[in-house]
Every structure is written in structure tokens, then in C-alpha cells.
Structure 1
Amino acid sequence: MKYLPKISHLQAFRQVARSGSIRAAARELEQSQPALSRTLRELEQTLGTQLLLRSKEGITLTEAGIAFSQRAEWVLEELRRAADEVDQINHFTHGTLTIGFSSLIALTVFPSVADGFKQALPQVRLTVKEGQLSSLLPGVRNGEIDLAIGSIDPMRPPQGVMIEPLFTAPFCIVARKGHPLAQAGDLMALRHAKWLLPESTYGYYQQLQNELTQFYHQIAITPLRTDSVITGLSMVLEADYLTIVARAMSHPLTLDDKLVVLPIQTLPAAQYCVVWSRKSALTTNARQFLVRLRETCRHYPW
């Protein structure tokens, strides 16, 4: 390849891939369709391959287009991050930071960490994305998310990211206070209960699946499955379901007088880690946040 693509080529291609059509992409980029089509042809000529298949229904990416799209997203995001850091140096601004995590972090350490971070760096634009680590990893890999926190199966660590263990969280079974099985001390006594179980098969969810497979097969009523904490709490409190949560989440949202932890000690614990892109150096803001996160997790009563 004699020449590298221009930034304008990458931006145009990214928008077309996101929009699914040249017309919609041209509208977003405030360009004419012929001008955008010329840019795409120049990009394909530069790379010496076809990236897009055009039809009346829109565009689809070729195999080469899919591979190039992933790299182009990362390159553009890295350029944005680099420009942000230069702007911070030149104009004494404080830039941005995007963090992703699950509900366990939201209900435990995040308020303290975020408050301390914002007190130290009040001008940073801090953005939070809540979700399971499996849904956050694409954003970490392409640079849209600076740091993500979640549980990781040590037998299946994610690829393309740096991993730093933060804490181990033991798990427990919760029910509403007054549930007829609230004093059960053995899993097999819960075979006929109504269960709400994780939908995801990532991180500690996979550990639960692996270690409790025999019990899961003996549950009489097919479990309801969801990763939603709100749905889970509602079903536990209002419909007598049982569910499995991190012990640190057994007293969330001032529900101490409504929830009870069953006296069962045979559940696994999960390793929670912070991850970031292996391709990208942490920004100053991300490093500052990570220092506070480590310290808070170290002293939190998991």
C-alpha cells in the first residue's frame, strides 16, 4: 500500500458503517451523497480492496470492511484522546473520563470514588455506562470506555485488555423477610422455590453456572432469567422469588428491613477486576480515578 488513508476517509467510512446507508451518512456529515461516494471510492482505491457492498436496501460491509471498521474506530478514538490530552496541557482544561461497571459497583464503591475524584478534578466530564462487563468490553477495546469494572472468569479471561484484580466478592441467596424458606441452610431444600437467575454467561455468572449446574437441573420451576437488578429486587420483594447476588448487595437501597440472606455457605466467590485497552496508555484522568478506586476497594467490607 503506497499511501495511508486520510482522517477524512476514516471519518466518512465510520459514519457510513454506523448509518447503514450513504444517504443517511451524508446527512449526518452534512455532505452531498456524490461527495461522500467519491471519498469512499478514494478510500477503497487507497487500500486496494472493496469495503462496501451497495444495494437498494443500503450498504453492508465486506469481510475486509468489517476488519477495517474495527481498526478505524480505534484509530479515530485514539486521535480524539490524544487531542484531548494536548488540549488539557495547552489550555489547562481537564478533559473527559468514561467509566463502565455493573450494579454492584454502582451500589457500593462508586459514589465515594466519584465524589473524591470530582472534588480533586471538578472540571472533568465524567461519564458512566452501567452494564455487564461482556457488554462493556467492545467500548474498552475501541477506546470509547477508559476503564471498566466487572467479574472475570479466571479460566476465560477477556482478550485485548489489561486486567488488574480489585477484590473478591462472596455471593449469597436473598429472599424477602418472612419468606417460608428464609431459614433454609441447604440448597436442595430450595428445589421447589421460584428462582430468578442471571441471564448472562460471563464472569461470575459462568462460575455460578459451572458450580451449581447439578442444582440448576433439579429446580422444579423453570427459573426467570434477567441481569436487571431492579427486576430482580421487585420479583424477590413482591413475588417471593429467590435470587443470587453479591453479599455486598444484600443491603442495597435501604432495604435492610425487607431482605434476608439465607444461611447457605456453599456459593462461590467472584473475582472483580478493572480492565482497560491493551492498545492504549491510560490517560491522566483514568490513572487518577484508578488510584482512588484501588484504595476504596481495598478497604470496603465485601
Structure 2
Amino acid sequence: MSDQTIRANRPNLRHLRAFSLAVREGNISRAAEVARVTQSAVSQAVARMEIHYGCRLLERGTTGVYPTDLGRVAVERIDRALERLRSATQRVCAARGSGRGGALPDRMLTLSQLDAFVATARAGGFKAGAKRLGISQPSVHRAVRQLQDVLGVDLLEQTSLGLAPTRGGADFATSVGLILREIDLVADDLDEARGRHQGRVAIGALALGRTELVPRAVARASRAFPDANFLIQDGTYDQLLHGLRAGDLDLVVSAGRPLPTDDVVEDLLFEDRLAVVARADHPLLAKGVTSLADLARFPWILPREGTPTRRSCNALLDRAGAQHAQGLVETGSQASVRGLLLESDRLTVLSRHQIAPELEAGLLTAVDLELPELQRTIVATLRHDWKPTQVQAALLAELKAITREWSAADAEAQAASA
């Protein structure tokens, strides 16, 4: 499903709020008083919600209204979105000292305004934002201007590189991404409650996660949920982390590292032992490795700077006395690493799990060395308050099941070689 189709299928934000209030108050009349609208407006909003989602969400009784089983499913996700919106508007207004007396700006916003702002902020301009949304540039400009007027805050500013979010605008854009994602997941939650698993899981993956772990987990999860959709996204760690925080990704699988922000957490998957890897007929293997200094006689392929594996490589080369600033090839591409290893005398450090097919085919080999510095943790990074759908939870469960299998196999192999 395209982004434009997803946006077109979102319900009205006022309808979501009216339904939430009706559930909370247990009475249409009281919900209307809180929302400062008529009773018929609340009733119509709930009716349109039920038409939109194709199910009954509220039961009407003589003493009031109460949610159906599906209504309870829907309101839990809706309330998460509305609370995020309330908190985000409070933060962005407080940062600039703007205030509107007793007005509640989050109740005056629309999804079209939020969509227009996020698209503009991410695309770097109104024209590019309009193209992303598939609507006219004047419409996007007007919606963003209305949003800023309601909040009383400038969210965008002109820079030498184009239009960019202000500091408060950047935080608000991240929050809005999560708000929109929560709203989109209402339909997924309701489908799952009715036995239909058609949602989407978006996974960011680096290195081992991209080449082996995530594809295996997706293959298993898709067998259990054949109608679900899966997106595997690569990129740098910073790009994937930003996507996770903004709601574009549901989890990121990578090597563990210090977290730069407190709104995400790492869920340990397993401890991975790395190995020095070379082509099967490498001259180093013919003569045998007598000391770490032998590793310094050959050129190396290293991961990008700043990655956990690169730090392990640097520590190893320092111990080996290698001049690792000279004659290096640096890449994060598994395909490039494989090609370079097969066509040269270069060495690198990889997880055995990353090159399992090449090891089995006899193309590459792992140098048998006990190197304590060549260890890393593989983790799933999640938003700290993430509420997964059943399909998302199943994907995470498969990741953990596969890594348990790997850990058991590693322990067995280690015991056999002892």
C-alpha cells in the first residue's frame, strides 16, 4: 500500500477524538460538552468511525455508551496517538513561550496539517513536500501556515541549504511521525482482532541483521502470517535510528552501542563471536598463524568508522602492530567485502553467521584464533513505549528464536573443539 493510499485511508482526527471522549465519559452528552460540540456531532463522528473501520465500536444503552470488544482495541491505540499529540504540542509551545490562555492547541489541529508539515520538514521544502504528498504546493503551504498559526510557533526556517525545521520543529516532526504511525496501526489492531493479519512490519537492519538474521526471521514470520507485509530497510545506524524514532521503522537490528537518546532501548538478541576471515586459499593459511604479527603482513578491509565492529578491528590491528591507516579499503557492503576477499589477499573481520554459505561452499575460511576483543552484542533497538501488533511481536519472537539457535550451535561447536 502506497503512502498516499495510507493517508487517504486515515479517519478524521476530530472523529478519533470524539470517539475517545465517548468511551472515556461513557455518555454522548458529556463527551459533547467536553469537546464543545453538539451531541449529534459526536454521534455522527462515532458512526463515521464505525463505517470507516467496518465494525461496531460502541454499544448504546439506556444509561450511556460503552465500547465493544473491538472498540476497546481501537481506543487503546487512539488514546496513545492523542496523548502523544497533546504532549508534543505542549512541548513545542512551551519551548517558545507561546500560549493561548485556556486554549488547547492539539484539539484544533488536523491530520492534513500534520501530514503537510512532516512532508515539508523531511523533504526540505514545500515543493518537494507537495510532490511527496501528491497534492498542490499551495495546499501544503497553507496547511503548514495554519499549523504554525494554531501553535503560535515557527516550525520551519530558511537556511542556506533550503527550508529546515527549527529545533522545536525537528522534535515536533519526530513526534508527529509517531502519532501518524499510531493512527495507522488502529486498522491493523482491529484486523488482527478479527483474525486478519494484513499489517506491515518495517525493520531496519545493519550487517549481520541485513544479510542473515532479519531475512530468516521475516521468512519464518511470513509463513505464519502470509498476508502481512514486511519492509527491510538498510542505511547507516544514524539513519535507521532516526527512522525508528520517527515511526518509519518498528525496530532496528544491529550491533549494540551506546544509545544517544533515552526514547529507545536495546533488547539483547545474542553475543556474537567475530573471526578473522580470508579466502580459502589465502597464503596466511598455508603457512599457519604463529602470532598476531602475521595478520599485519596483509592488507585489510575494515567496516566504516564509528561502528562497533570497526572498533574491534582497530583494537586487533593495534595489538598486531599493523599500520592500519595505510592501504585500507573501508566499506559496509557485504557484497563488496565478499568480492574483495575472493579477489585479493586482504583480510577482514566478520561474524561466521554472516558468511555461512561461503564457509560451507569452501570459498572463505575463518582463521582459528582466540581473540577476546572480537566479540559484540547483537540487539533489537525498539522505542521504549512500543506497543507492537501481533505480526510485529511475532517477528521479534522469531529474531530471538533464531539467535537462541545460533547461540546453542556456537556453544556446541566450542565444546567440541575444546
| Fold similarity call, TM over 0.5 | yes
**By how many angstroms is 1:103 displaced?**
3.7
1:270: how far off? Answer: 0.8
**Is residue 267 of structure 2 the alignment partner of residue 164 of structure 1?**
yes
Q: 2:308 is matched with which residue? A: 203
Q: C-alpha distance in 1, partners of 2:215/2:309?
A: 23
Secondary structure in 1 aligned to 2:300? strand
Task: Work out whether 1:277 is the aligned partner of 2:383.
Answer: yes
Contact 2:295-2:320 within 8 A present in 1 as well: no
Could you tell me which residue of structure 1 aligns to residue 119 of structure 2?
15
1:238 maps to 2:348: no
Q: 2:227 aligns with which of 104, 117, 123?
A: 123
**How do 1:111-260 and structure 2 match up within 5 A?**
111-131=215-235, 133-153=237-257, 156-159=258-261, 160-182=263-285, 183-210=288-315, 212-215=317-320, 218-219=323-324, 221-253=326-358, 256-260=361-365
Is the partner of 1:65 in helix, strand or coil? helix
Q: Which moved more, 1:32-41 or 1:190-199?
A: 32-41
Task: Look at both structures and tell me which one has the larger radius of gyration over its CA atoms.
Answer: 2
Q: In 2, Cα distance between the equivalents of 1:57 and 1:202?
A: 28
Alignment partner of 2:181 out of 47, 72, 77: 77
- Give the 3-state SS of the residue equivalent to 2:230 in structure 1: strand
Shift of 1:35: 3.4
Q: Which AA in structure 2 matches 1:289?
A: L
Instruction: Quote the Cα distance in structure 1 between the aligned partners of 2:127 and 2:213.
Output: 45
Provide, for residues 248-272 of structure 1, a one-character-per-residue CA deviation record: whole Å limited to 9, x for no partner. 2343346632222223212421111
Contact 1:185 1:264 in 2 (8 A): no
Q: Alignment length, in residue pairs?
A: 300
- Using the size of structure 2 for normalisation, the TM-score is 0.64
Superposed CA offset, 1:55-99 (max 9, x none): 898523333322322222222222222343234435834311122
In structure 2, do the counterparts of structure 1 residues 28 and 103 end up closer, same or farther at CA, with 3 Å as the change threshold? closer
Structure 2 distance, partners of 1:136, 1:31, is 28
Instruction: Kindly indicate whether residue 169 of structure 2 is the aligned counterpart of residue 65 of structure 1.
Output: yes
Give identity over the alignment, percent. Answer: 25
Give the 3-state SS of the residue equivalent to 2:337 in structure 1.
helix
Distance 1:205 1:216, change over 3 A: farther
Q: Which moved more, 1:85-94 or 1:173-182?
A: 85-94
Q: d(CA) in 2 for partners of 1:134 and 1:54?
A: 24
Q: Which moved more, 1:20-29 or 1:280-289?
A: 20-29
Change (3 A) 1:43 1:219: closer
CA RMSD of aligned residues (A): 2.7
Deviations 1:140-170 (A, max 9, x none): 22222222211113xx245322222111111
Structure 1: state its 5+ residue gaps: none
Once the 2 structures are TM-superposed, how far is the Cα of residue 27 of structure 1 from its aligned partner? 4.2
TM-score, normalised by the number of residues in structure 1: 0.86
- Give me the whole-angstrom Cα distance separating, in 2, the residues matched to 1:216 and 1:64: 48
Matched AA of 1:197: L
Q: In the superposition, relative to structure 1, how do residues 184 and 126 fare at CA in structure 2: closer, same or farther (>3 Å)?
A: same
Cα pair 1:192 1:219 within 8 Å, conserved: no
What is the rounded CA distance, in whole Å, between the counterparts of 1:124 and 1:190 in structure 2? Answer: 47
Structure 1 counterpart of 2:153 = 49
Structure 2 residue runs of 5 or longer lacking an equivalent are: 1-98, 411-418
State whether residues 149 and 273 of structure 1, in contact with CA within 8 Å, keep that contact through their aligned partners in structure 2.
yes
CA contact (8 A) 1:166 1:272 kept: yes
Query: Alignment partner for residue 292 of structure 1, among 398, 404, 408?
Result: 398
Q: Is residue 268 from structure 1 mapped to residue 268 from structure 2 by the alignment?
A: no
Q: Is the 8 A contact 2:313 2:349 kept in 1?
A: no
**Alpha-carbon distance change, 260 to 253 in structure 1, aligned in 2, over 3 angstroms:** closer
> Aligned equivalents of 2:191 and 2:399: distance in 1?
26
**C-alpha distance in 2 between matches for 1:283 and 1:61:** 31
* More relative contact order, 1 or 2 (CA 8 Å, 6+ apart): 1
More helix by share: 2
